[in-house]
Chains A and B, each alone.
Chain A
Amino acid sequence: MQPVNETRPRPGCSGPKGLLRVEAVSVHFGGIVALDAVSFSVESGQIAGLIGPNGAGKTTLFNCLSRLYEASEGSIEFDGHSLRETPRHGIAALGIGRTFQNLALFHTMTVFDNILVGRHCRTRSGFLASALSMPSVRREEDAARTRARELVSFLQLDSVADRPVAALPFGTQKRVELGRALAADPKLLLLDEPASGLNHEEVGALGALIREIRDRLALTILLVEHHMSLVMSVSDRVVALNFGRKIAEGTPAEVQRLPEVIQAYLGSAH
């Protein structure tokens, strides 16, 4: 499969600004502080891991990036756009794709159609042009189908492409979600616990797949993950959260050594 955008900056070429900049973002739910002034940035081409115990605020942060939650304070900037001023349905077109922790597929649709829906933000055909089946609509549809077929074979979904997703095994459904997110040609891919529910071998293969996606499609990945060995093996940088605060940031080796991180995961020694 060809990279979607040859001119996209390769890893390390984006300068110090970062593709995604999260600055002092706080989220309050009533009196509960889910995120407390969290700041970090993700460089173009990086794989960044977001770790932390349950309830640390990882998914809350993801949901701020997709605008499912409204940040109470702070700013989120992506590729020169302020996400807090972008409508929820405009996020995908900016170049942010995501998968969901508990799967959010269109369960009555086939694998192929799910991936085609992922192409929605890169296509334009409206109601009238579609009803009249204008030549431009047919061209666009053909191109979308070609792209979806490429993704189906890239993710080895060929044998199930025409089956409804609801009947497929969990691991396969997760790959369909990945395909659906990739169909939008994202610059930044958000993966929310991609390893959850997968068996030992599948997790090993997932690490390789994540790196392959980054290298072949030249994109940036931010992943939330509990599976420590996976995060530490694929990530270029790791951000650790606990109780809504950032407690550490650095390379996997650095973060793993920090006492705050060990304490957050294993509990305090006294």
Chain B
Amino acid sequence: MNQRTLTVVAVLLLLACALPFLVSNYRTFQFTLVLVYAIALLGLNILTGYNGQISLGHGAFYAIGAYTAAILMDRFGVPYWATLPVAGAVCLAVGFLFGLPALRLEGLYLALATFALGVSMPQLLKYHHFEKWTGGVQGIVITKPDPPFGLPLNPDQWLYYFTLAVMVLMFVLAWNLLRGRVGRAMVAIRDHHIAAEAMGINTAMVKSLTFGVSAFYTGVAGALGAIAIQFVAPDSFNIFLSIVFLVGIAIGGLASIPGAIYGALFIQFVPNIADEISKAAPWAVFGIFMIGFVYVMPLGVNGAIRMLLARLGRKAQNNRSTAGVTRPTINSPEEV
């Protein structure tokens, strides 16, 4: 990460920290959900964007994370913060195990298998033998945590800061993972899996572990989402959630870390905006937004921003270079 990117990240973080004091409690709660979705989308983006495995069922991992947190808090009195690593670990294991048989499936067929997972999750959660823990169709109500150490914050503000801290940690871990040996292996498998194997990459292991890591992220997000909303019920985790996640990473920008944040802003706020525009057909308006975004920014918001910055950078360079010096438009490297 260069100096300029570091500065931008620092400024954005400061803004994010100031936010709860600038907007209402309800807006703070909405931004907490943006942070939650950003973690979930980053998880899906690691799998689909970086590793090329399509998942139409990540809502299921979000649900498992949410229920793990809710059950631990409600039935076992576990403090909210301690539920996150457990929710993550449960999803890591489930994701890895799901990833193993999924190795045999490519492209659309993997999408179908994950779709099956996503579509069956609400019914599994309603299964009456699990009702003792899951509360059946009623779901589970949990209480909002109070700020610790007598901090002068209301619960919404505290939860926002708590979620922000978790998100920053998760993003740093993902950035470390993706920029090094493992991240390169993920992308290599996506680009050319035969060549990846010839380079010594154990593609089966990397793909399964990537599935696990992806589910880990989405599971932690699910736990945070449950704590923020204070309620879990089977039908809040229907197949639509999985599709919306996929929309989020496509709009934000595939295979990009900041893209998860842009995508999260989109899936949190655009439905609200659409609802304000037309109460009768909000999803039609949402659809128009979606088409508009992919038409104007085919590489997602992140791709558009990068292109814009590159263009600005070139312009600045052109202004600096002295007139009369012509520069070759195409680099012509000497051939062997």
Contacts and interface: CB of A to CB of B under 8 A. Distances in A.
B333 interface: yes
B264 interface: no
A182 to B, nearest CB: 12
A198 B335 CA distance: 9
Interface in B55-92: none
A125 B191 contact: no
Contacts of A237: none
User: A87, A127, A140 — which one has the most chain B CB atoms within 10 A of its CB?
Assistant: A127
B9 to A, nearest CB: 16
Nearest to A141: B180
Interface string A23-39: 00000000000000000
B181 A172 contact: no
A120 B184 contact: yes
A108 B303 CA distance: 14
A130 B333 contact: no
A125 B176 contact: no
A109 B200 contact: no
User: What is the predominant secondary structure among interface residues of chain A facing chain B?
Assistant: helix
B195 A104 contact: yes
Given A106-B187, A107-B191, A113-B184, A89 B336 contact: no
Interface stretch (A48-56, A77-85, A153-161, A222-230): A153-161
User: B173, B200, B203 — which one has the most chain A CB atoms within 10 A of its CB?
Assistant: B200
User: What is the predominant secondary structure among interface residues of chain B facing chain A?
Assistant: helix
Interface string A62-105: 00001010000000000000000001111111000010100011
Contacts, number: 123
Nearest to A158: B333
Interface residues of A, number: 56
A170 B335 CA distance: 9
B182 A130 contact: yes
A206 to B, nearest CB: 5
A233 interface: no
A202 interface: yes
Interface string B179-195: 01111110110111011
A118 interface: yes
B89 to A, nearest CB: 13
B333 A117 contact: no
A190 to B, nearest CB: 10
A205 B336 contact: yes
Interface residues of B, number: 33
Contact of B184 (A88, A109, A156, A168): A109
A140 B184 CA distance: 14
User: B188, B255, B331 — which one has the most chain A CB atoms within 10 A of its CB?
Assistant: B188
A4 interface: no
Nearest to B173: A131
Given A92-B198, A127-B177, A130-B177, A157 B182 contact: no
B336 A206 contact: yes
9 contacts: A88-B197, A89-B197, A89-B202, A91-B200, A109-B184, A116-B184, A118-B199, A120-B199, A159-B331
Interface of B: 173-174, 176-177, 180-185, 187-188, 190-192, 194-203, 209, 213, 255, 331, 333-336
Given A106-B192, A130-B183, A156-B333, 19 more contacts: A89-B201, A91-B200, A92-B198, A93-B200, A106-B191, A106-B195, A117-B185, A117-B199, A127-B177, A130-B180, A130-B181, A131-B176, A133-B176, A141-B180, A141-B181, A144-B181, A159-B333, A169-B335, A202-B336
